Chains A and B, each alone.
Chain A
Amino acid sequence: MTQATHHPAERVIIVQRDVQQSARLVADVFRQAMRSRGTFVVNLLSSPGAGKTTLLQATAQHWRTEEARSDDRRYRMAVLVGDIATDRDAQRLAPYATVAQLTTGGACHLDLSLVQRGWDAMQQPACEFLFLENVGNLVCPAAHDLGEHLRVILLSTTEGDDKPAKYPKAFRTSQGMVISKTDLLPHVPFSCDAAVADARRLQPDLAVFPVSALQPTGIAAWCQYLVDQRTKFLNGHTINST
């Protein structure tokens, strides 16, 4: 090679690597570990105040009522709540579930190391469902794999039906969508049809659940979806009770 006189000899090294590749491999290990213990991991995404905590309360209440009716059904849940500063959500959920607060210290999304720390802190309880209540934000959490098996996005009727087009990644990477606060539909300009059509342009296979956690309506269908997805995923695998 001749020595360049005006420009030093440059050498280009082709890397061509996904920057988040190693994070994804760690997430795959966590996903597999959770699968083999029969715990179905659900990552919940939404804007702040869309109703994630309230939905989890209603979900737990629904399963508790079902459990009282027949004793062959039992869905234990654990929740890791990502909150920027307070533990108020964790307190709200504590009566129903094993819960730990992940204080992100201002971070805009949960990452897997936080999730793993929280899971260890709650001493890896035996449970059928682990919910990850992500930080209220539709941008950053969408780009971070938490080792979940299912990603669900909540869109509340009060935040407008134009959200899907504004946050393509969050909707594209979700398998389920909950339209929350449907009890407010008579009072707000929100078209479920428009929101669903927009969301399905991004994710044609999106499963949709209109829900009001207050009335409550739609909770049974939502809970059944979770159970079905878990069963399908585990494919006959049964949880080791402790």
Chain B
Amino acid sequence: MHEMSIARSLVVQVIDLTRDQPGQSLSSVRVRVGELAGVEPQLLLAACEMLAEESAIANTRWEILSQPLLASCELCGETIEIRGFCFACNHCGSTSVRVTSGDAVILEQITMVAMQAAAEDRER
């Protein structure tokens, strides 16, 4: 499954981001998986955990959350949630809708913790 290749780029990008944060260590990563991303959240989680384990960011908590599919109607301008993958506007019925979110895997945020604090925390 291709979740492994998505996880690989996630891990690489997260490691890159942590390089810009000297004196801090990574504690968690939050990822949003769009309903139309074509990615299985459970498989992505397993792949991230597995790849991170063998990398510079072992012991990271991965939060893989889902993201609803939102679109904007080209006819009436409403923002709509697409349910059941039925691409039609529930206000005016138009099928001319543009997806605005929920079709991708988004690296939303990372949480860093000061290394000293992290070490003290471990001692306790």
Name A155-203 residues within 8 Å CB distance of B.
Answer: 165, 168-170, 172, 200-203
- Is A72 engaged at the interface, CB distance under 8 Å to the other chain? no
Contact A10 B27, CB 8 Å, known A16-B109, A139-B38, A169-B36: yes
Which residue of A has the minimal Cβ distance to B3?
A140
Q: Interface size (B, Cβ < 8 Å)?
A: 38
Contact A169 B38, CB 8 Å, known A8-B114, A140-B2, A204-B96: yes
Structural contact, A14 and B109, CB atoms closer than 8 A: yes
Structural contact, A10 and B109, CB atoms closer than 8 A: no
The 0/1 profile, CB within 8 Å of B marked 1, for residues 134-149 of chain A is 0000011011100000
Structural contact, A3 and B85, CB atoms closer than 8 A: no
Structural contact, A8 and B113, CB atoms closer than 8 A: yes
Contact surface of B with A, Cβ cutoff 8 Å: 1-2, 5-6, 9-10, 13, 17, 21, 24, 27, 31, 36-39, 85-88, 95-96, 103-114, 117-118, 120-121
- Is A68 engaged at the interface, CB distance under 8 Å to the other chain? no
Which residue of A has the minimal Cβ distance to B95?
A204
Q: Give the chain B neighbours of A8 by CB distance below 8 A.
A: 113-114, 117-118, 120-121
Kindly provide the distance from the CB of B69 to the nearest chain A CB, expressed in whole angstroms.
9
Q: How large is the interface on A (under 10, 10 to 19, 20 to 34, 35 or more residues)?
A: 35 or more
Which residue of B has the minimal Cβ distance to A140?
B2
Contact surface of A with B, Cβ cutoff 8 Å: 3-4, 7-20, 22-23, 107-109, 111, 139-140, 142-144, 165, 168-170, 172, 200-204
Q: Give the chain A neighbours of B37 by CB distance below 8 A.
A: 143, 169
Q: List 17 A-B contacts (CB under 8 A).
A: A8-B114, A8-B117, A8-B118, A8-B120, A10-B27, A10-B111, A12-B110, A16-B106, A18-B104, A18-B107, A20-B6, A23-B9, A107-B2, A142-B38, A143-B37, A168-B36, A169-B36
